[in-house]
Structure formats: C-alpha cells, structure tokens
Structure 1
Amino acid sequence: MVKAKKRVFLSFLAEDADHIRGLRLLKDNPNYELDFYDESVREPINSERAEYIKQKIREKISRASVTVCLISEKTYTSEWVNWELEESHKKGNKIIAMALKGVKKV
C-alpha cells in the first residue's frame, strides 16, 4: 500500500533559506524516507502590503496538514514565523519544530 504524501508548510526565517533548500533536496534523495508536498513560499511575494502577503501565505497553510517550523538561533525574532504558526494552529495543522543543523542555542 502506497502511503499518501503529507502536504507540509515550512515556516522559517528568510535568512535561513539556504538551509531550507537542503531540506527540500532531501525528499528527492533515495537514501531518505521522506516524502511530502512542499506548500511553503519559495519565491518572495511581490508586494509590500502585509494583508496581501498574509492572504497568499494563508492559502498555502490551508492546503497543508502539517507545519514544520525550522528553527535557527534568530527565528524567535520573526513576526512572520510567529504569525504563520498562529495561523497553522487555528487551521488545526500538526506543528513540528525542528532545529537547523548547527544550531546550538535557541
């Protein structure tokens, strides 16, 4: 029986994008048993209007059943990550926190 892929929203600090690219590549590596549809924001949303950006992110969160918060030493400073986690919680997504490689203190 083939297991259905989970739809995952990745929440992270924009400055950690290089680490996130590595995680996204892992799902294509045959040595890892990791299979998901990535619903997170890949390209910056071309707007300075916070409500428009929130609407676009909310659409992605609504398609996911799991939100993975990727944690670096400065993630706690992001109002956007906090908002994404609040929206994910309201929607009923399972929330998983995962420290990025090399993080020593959060």
Structure 2
Amino acid sequence: MARRCFFSFHYQDVIDFRANVVRNHNITKDDNGGFFDASIWETAKRQGDVALKRLINGGLGNTSATVVLIGSNTYSRRWVQYEIMKSVERGNIVIGIHINGIRDRFSNVHSQGPNPFDYLGLHISADGCTGTPMIWSGQAWVAYGDLGAFSIPQQPAEKRGNLFQLSHWLPTYDWVADRGFDNFANWIA
C-alpha cells in the first residue's frame, strides 16, 4: 500500500541538500510530503506557536507515515520534536533516517547525529491506555510542554507505569549504509 509521508527535518539539512536527496528520491518526488515553503513557515512563526502547530497539524493531515530525517542537530529542534510527538499521537508509522552520510553541497559527509527518539519518551499510564509525552532535559525526564497525554493502544502489564524512550518503539535507518534508495518503501510499509 502506498503511504503519504510527512518529512520532518532541521531546515539546515535542506540548505545542505541532504534532506532533498531523500525527499526527492523516486518514491516521493511528486509529493511535498510535509515540506513547507520557507515563506509560509516564516509567516506562521511571526503569528506564534499556535499558528506553527496549526501548520504542522495540517501538514500531517492525510498522512500515514512520518519520516524524520536525522542530521547533526535534528534531535534538539523544538518543532521536529513536536512533529514526532504529534505523529505518535496520530498513530502514524514513524521512522528515522540518518542522512549525514549523504554528501552535502560541498561534498562533505559527517558522523551520525544523535537519534531524536532517544530524547523523547512516553510515560505509560497504570492502565496501559494513555501515554504522557516526556522529554530529556539534559539532566532528567520532564513533561513535554507542547502536547498533553493521549490515548495509545493498550500496553502489556510490564510496560504500565513506566517511561520508555521513543527509540524503544521507533526504528532508525541510515540512508547510505542501509541503501535507502532501494529500501525506503519497505521501511514505511
């Protein structure tokens, strides 16, 4: 089944062309997949957080997969974090793809950036039916301020009352090492 994808990324990776390699490969080249023109993004930023959330929520509409393009600083970007958490709340398939192995506009490659799924988590309720978003502050797990608790598929007894990093559930791949051009469709299937 074909999936409509939302692409989440740090804008610097568009400037460096890495994000575009994935976004424009043969499967997604006819779909903007959640990419917003910079002028639309800047207008929403001037209108405030509510406008940005509305823009992101609208971009996620009618999607079934969210693809997080992981560069050097993606993990720390507030709106990437929101896109990930909102995608989990929606029930989208969510995957991460490391893109630092793709040559940038200067033909440079970089080591993998931190996995954003390691910095975001869900605290599972006692009944296993609610997830409360959490974020790593650098010293402790704290409540995630941009999204409240939401319903999740009931979790088994051993997970209830515990916090799990999103990396517990969400896979990551490397575009170059894992041959993303050939395998992308399988990753989001």
Separation in 2, partners of 1:51, 1:35: 29
> Structure 2 stretches of 5 or more lacking a match?
102-109, 115-189
- The yes-or-no answer on 1:59 pairing with 2:52 is no
2:7, 2:34 within 8 Å by CA — same for their partners in 1? yes
Separation in 2, partners of 1:21, 1:35: 10
**Partner residue, 2:150:** none
Question: Secondary structure of 1:55's match?
Answer: helix
- The yes-or-no answer on 1:43 pairing with 2:37 is yes
CA RMSD in angstroms, aligned pairs only = 1.8
**Partner residue, 2:10:** 13
Q: TM-score, normalised by structure 2?
A: 0.47
Percent of matched pairs sharing the same residue = 24
Match runs of 1:26-37 below 5 Å? 26-27=25-26, 34-35=27-28, 37=31
**Partner residue, 2:111:** 104
Separation in 1, partners of 2:87, 2:50: 17
Q: Measure how far apart 1:95 and its partner are.
A: 0.3
**4+ residue stretches of structure 1 with deviation over 6 A?**
none
- Answer with 39-48 or 70-79: which moved more: 39-48
Task: Looking at secondary structure, tell me which structure has more helix per residue.
Answer: 1
Aligned length: 97
Question: Secondary structure of 2:24's match?
Answer: helix
- The yes-or-no answer on 1:81 pairing with 2:80 is yes
Q: Measure how far apart 1:101 and its partner are.
A: 3.7
Q: Measure how far apart 1:14 and its partner are.
A: 1.0
Separation in 2, partners of 1:12, 1:24: 10
2:72, 2:100 within 8 Å by CA — same for their partners in 1? no
Separation in 1, partners of 2:91, 2:111: 30
Question: Secondary structure of 2:61's match?
Answer: helix
Separation in 1, partners of 2:24, 2:8: 16
Q: Measure how far apart 1:35 and its partner are.
A: 4.8
